[in-house]
Amino acid sequence: MRVSPYVAIVIGSKNMLMKVYEISAAKGIRTIDEIRYEYELGKEAYFTRKITFAQIEEICSVLEQFQQRMKEYDVTEFHCYATSAIRNAKNQVSVLNQIKVRTGIDVIMLSNSELRFLMYKGIQVLKLDFNKIIEKNTAILDIGSGSVQISLFDKQVLYMTQNLDIGTAKVREFSESVGNNVLDYISVLEEYIQYEVDMFKSGYLKDKDIKNVIAIGDEIKNINRLVPELHLEDTMSYEQIQYIYKKIKKASYQDIAIKYGLSMEDARMVLPSVLVYKTFLERSKADTIYICSTNLCDGSVVDYAQKMKKIKVSHDFYQDIIASARYIGKRYRYSKIHAQYIAELALEIFDKTKRFHGLTQRDRLILEISAILHDIGKYVNLNDPGKNGYQLIMSTEIMGLSHREREEIANIVLYNTQELPDTDELETAFWREEYLRIAKLSSILRLANALDRGHKQKFENCSMMRKGQELIITLETNQDITLEITRFSKKAELFSEFTGITPVLKQRRAL
């Protein structure tokens, strides 16, 4: 039985964490070591938006110690991530470069949606019956230093995710700014959090009741340590949250740190975290929190093991990304039937010509999401759907995708209706690097979209067959498809330019 060692490292806002895992097909994932280094990177970084030279030195020194420990375990496979403190820093590029030069480590800079998706994947290392829980309306509450992510599930399907600007570090900064100016700053703090949660409820929950709340991350683990007398294991009730709130609301963070063995930084985060949980339970009408102390390292090992096909997981994460895109489409009143129709056609074109376009499975996902969202710009204005769709996509997070991938999708949607610029018109290095991929995917989307130009789904069956340098698309229908044929011929030229394949449209009468 082969066992694979793996290490995940996170450069966080409050600490640096390294976890060593063993992965095997028989026993799954097992944690064999954990090293945590406490510091205060987040507070100064969020305030100044800059990582100092001294902080970079400290990070590099700790990473070198982590590397020494990895040698002891003979680990060759690892990933190192940076989170919001570095992501939001103005000198982010310089920081990552200095870490690379000093340690040789390429740090992965996660976008918020990527980070939350990995956190959510980390649930798979626990014994929690996740698929059973999300059969009913369930919210995953991920409290971070910079923000709070709320992801909603129903009938085992993710239907939306939203980011709230009330992370523990930001709430703490707010509380410190008002603490010396008001007599009851806790009430002000509670009002501040309630406003954000109420805005989320009115915009996304409305009258929908949440049955379960899954709390993930370090904050729920720290809160659990405050009440050994409650003997909490897997769940926490609203009454117990109230009990914790009353217990700590007048305690100083110094007292909390000493009494419960927390670091000063963790102790400062306890009250903001409790207030977020308390407020969310009150507003969502849920009465139970599932305690799930998974972290980004756990998500990393699940992601790695899954991609390397070392383990099988029961939950379909791919469909969560697609479901998140469909929710965005629904929010902007897309035509669900047309979007699904175009997505299926586009994916079949992609699959039939993959030997020629040279794109990856990840590009296939980007194409599917682009097809789902290609018409959402009509929600704003019917006259300029591509440009409006671009703006909507760029202002909306999509679960599991990086900012760069979201930008690719936005441009594929834009150039579904607008002419693709020539390469000499491009202004940025990003465009020079990504131009060809976006051009290929947008040409596939254009071709698929032409086959349902009237949004009437005219054909009963569509078959595709590649023959030499031609892609033969045969539509089985008795309806008039003059409009589709006309549009198809115009879109076929661009597709041929970027794939070397000539699309040919044929009609076969249905029996």
- Return the SS3 of 352: helix
User: What is the overall mean pLDDT for the chain?
Assistant: 87
Say whether pLDDT at 370 is over 90.
Answer: yes
- Using pLDDT thresholds of 50, 70 and 90, give the confidence band for residue 180: low
Is the same domain home to 205 and 248?
A: yes
Backbone angles phi, psi at 402, to 5 degrees: -80, 165
Question: Whole-angstrom Cα distance, residue 13 to residue 470?
Answer: 54
- Return the SS3 of 144: coil
Is the same domain home to 75 and 137?
A: no
Boundary residue ending a domain (250, 275, 305)? 305
Which residues in 39-66 are b (16+ Cβ under 10 Å) and which e? bbbbbebbeeeebeeebbebbbebbeeb
Boundary residue ending a domain (293, 325, 360)? 293
Is the same domain home to 371 and 499?
A: yes
Say whether pLDDT at 20 is over 90.
Answer: yes
Say whether pLDDT at 166 is over 60.
Answer: yes
| Average confidence (pLDDT) over 208-213 | 86
Is the same domain home to 425 and 473?
A: yes
- Using pLDDT thresholds of 50, 70 and 90, give the confidence band for residue 217: confident
116: in domain: no
- Using pLDDT thresholds of 50, 70 and 90, give the confidence band for residue 241: very high
156-160, 177-181, 196-200: range with highest mean pLDDT: 196-200
Is the same domain home to 410 and 491?
A: yes
Supply the pLDDT for residue 382. Answer: 84
What secondary structure letter does DSSP report for 160?
E
CB under 8 Å to 82, separation ≥6 — which residues? 10, 11, 96, 107, 108, 109, 110
Say whether pLDDT at 268 is over 60.
Answer: yes
β-strands 470-476, 461-467: how paired? Answer: antiparallel
Question: Whole-angstrom Cα distance, residue 398 to residue 405?
Answer: 10
Is the same domain home to 344 and 444?
A: yes
Boundary residue ending a domain (293, 327, 348)? 293
Is the same domain home to 368 and 504?
A: yes
Is the same domain home to 21 and 54?
A: yes
- Letter for the amino acid at 297? C
21: in domain: yes
Number of domains in the chain: 3
Consecutive H or E run containing 18: strand 15-24
Question: Whole-angstrom Cα distance, residue 447 to residue 490?
Answer: 9
188: in domain: yes
Is the same domain home to 284 and 395?
A: no
Q: Which residue has the higher pLDDT, 194 or 218?
A: 194
- Using pLDDT thresholds of 50, 70 and 90, give the confidence band for residue 376: very high
312: in domain: no
- Letter for the amino acid at 45? A
In terms of residue numbers, what domain contains 485? 317-508
β-strands 461-467, 288-292: how paired? Answer: unpaired
Supply the pLDDT for residue 424. Answer: 64
Do residues 280 and 193 make contact, with C-beta atoms less than 8 angstroms apart? no
Write the pLDDT tens digit of every residue in 62-79.
999 999 999 999 999 999
121: in domain: no
| Average confidence (pLDDT) over 214-231 | 85
CATH number assigned to the domain comprising residue 238: 3.30.420.150
CATH number assigned to the domain comprising residue 426: 1.10.3210.10
- Using pLDDT thresholds of 50, 70 and 90, give the confidence band for residue 144: confident
Sheet holding 470-476, edge to edge: 461-467, 470-476, 502-508
Write the pLDDT tens digit of every residue in 101-131.
999 999 999 988 898 889 889 888 777 788 8
100: in domain: yes
Do residues 503 and 473 make contact, with C-beta atoms less than 8 angstroms apart? yes
| Average confidence (pLDDT) over 163-183 | 71
- Using pLDDT thresholds of 50, 70 and 90, give the confidence band for residue 372: very high
Say whether pLDDT at 485 is over 90.
Answer: no
CATH number assigned to the domain comprising residue 40: 3.30.420.40
Is the same domain home to 390 and 463?
A: yes
Question: Whole-angstrom Cα distance, residue 499 to residue 253?
Answer: 62
Write the pLDDT tens digit of every residue in 413-454.
999 988 888 766 655 545 666 888 999 999 999 999 998 887
120: in domain: no
Is the same domain home to 210 and 246?
A: yes
The CA R_g of the chain, rounded to the nearest whole Å, is 25
119: in domain: no
Write the pLDDT tens digit of every residue in 22-68.
998 888 899 999 999 988 776 667 677 889 999 999 999 999 999 99
Is the same domain home to 335 and 483?
A: yes
